[in-house]
Amino acid sequence: MTVTMDSKRRLTVSASLAPAAPGDTFRSQYDAEEGEIVFRRITPPGDWLAIMAGCPVRMDEVPKRRSELPKRRAL
């Protein structure tokens, strides 16, 4: 399939070629040697609660941060 850039420098890709929904995020990269543009879909971030629940270390076991500022070392 050939796509053509419009006057506002936009490319429109048919839904049959690459199914996507409004708001989907893509990373684009231009390959100068091949003269081609590559688009890769970026997966949306997952539910942070589900990610935190799958963490192997409980939050109670994580060491606490220090409240004092770091000291400057003499070099």
Residue 29 has a pLDDT of 93
C-alpha angle with apex 57: 51 to 60, nearest 5 degrees? Answer: 110
- Over residues 55-62, the mean pLDDT reads 80
pLDDT digits (tens, 9 = 90+) for 15-56: 888 888 888 888 999 999 999 988 898 877 777 788 778 888
Q: What is the pTM of this model?
A: 0.47
3-state secondary structure of 37: strand
Domain boundaries, the chain: 25-56
End-to-end CA gap in the chain? 62
Selection from 16, 13, 35 nearest residue 26 by Cα:
13
